[in-house]
Amino acid sequence: MLEINDSVAVVTGGGSGIGLAFAKYWVKKGGKVLLGDVSKPALETAKAAIGDRVEILVCDVTDEADSHRLATTAMKAFGRINLVAPFAGIIKDGMMLSPDRESGKVSAKMTLDQFRSVVDVNLTGVFLTVRECAEQMINNGDKGLICLISSTGSLGTAGQINYSSTKAAVSVMPKVITAEFFRRGIADRIRCVAVAPGYVATPILEGMNQKALSRILDNVPIGRLIDPDEIASLVCELYRNEALTGDVYFIHGGLRLSSKG
């Protein structure tokens, strides 16, 4: 079993949401964190709230040079990387095609920017973060975990062909990365998993129309949103338990998706 105390996590999307919640949880358990985000004010607020076991870096996960800088900054600040947590992500929901109710003709469609920007952050950004941080881990002889964030959206959700496609792609990454590391004889040292949350209690969801939120919760057997700390707790256990690798772990309160996604 690995110990969190003094272990170093690199977390993207760390200025808010699941990334920020995880960083706080990790530090409470004795770990150290390099937080990356595009928002400098969000990062500064996070550092003030978490304390001196955190270093921050403004970075764009879609930029190759920034991703390299993220990994090398962690090495300079802490001397190692034990957990890679590429949690940066965006949504730009919309139907691929929207026929007009009266004419039956398509009146709107998802734009290329809506599709491409989500792919850039949620998929390319994950690839770059993992590639750059894993390189440092391998070269430095570090031991630990690459933990990706997928989603129940990977199963297919109407209005999210961009988001669902990226999360489905992320879901297969643990198997691919584990297989590649197995071939190179390092799969016992650097493991890879993905966590797939359902509906999480983030400000976006909690602030939505309460009737709409109620309809969402109608499909959740535990009757509530997932607390970000519950996701953080799962990630920490996945880190500690060295028998867990190459798979996706759902945390959704028993969510039942309807036939209409």
Q: Which of 55-64, 173-182, 192-201, 207-216 has the lowest mean pLDDT?
A: 207-216
Is 163 an annotated catalytic residue? yes
Q: What is the mean pLDDT of the chain?
A: 95
Catalytic residue among 163, 199, 239, 249: 163
pLDDT given at position 214: 87
pLDDT given at position 212: 77
How many angstroms separate the first and last alpha carbons of the chain? Answer: 38
d(CA 153, CA 246) in angstroms, rounded, equals: 19
DSSP for residue 122:
I
Query: pTM here?
Result: 0.94
pLDDT for 86-145, tens place per residue? 999 999 999 999 999 999 999 999 999 999 999 999 999 999 999 999 999 999 999 999
In 60-98, which positions are buried (b, 16+ CB within 10 angstroms) versus exposed (e)? bbbbeebbbbbbebbbeebebbbbbbbbbbebbebeeee
Q: Which of 92-96, 145-149, 234-238, 256-260 has the lowest mean pLDDT?
A: 256-260
Residues 8-251: name the CATH superfamily: NAD(P)-binding Rossmann-like Domain (3.40.50.720)
d(CA 24, CA 5) in angstroms, rounded, equals: 13
Is residue 53 classed exposed, middle or buried when 0-12, 13-18 and 19+ CB atoms within 10 A define those classes? middle
pLDDT given at position 48: 97
d(CA 136, CA 77) in angstroms, rounded, equals: 13
Residue 259 above 60 pLDDT?
Answer: no
In 170-189, which positions are buried (b, 16+ CB within 10 angstroms) versus exposed (e)? bbebbeebbeebeeeebbee
The dihedrals phi and psi of 111, each to the nearest 5 degrees, come to -80, 160
Does 24 or 212 have the greater pLDDT score? 24
- Residue with token string 């933990």: 147
pLDDT for 21-62, tens place per residue? 999 999 999 999 999 999 999 999 999 999 999 999 999 999
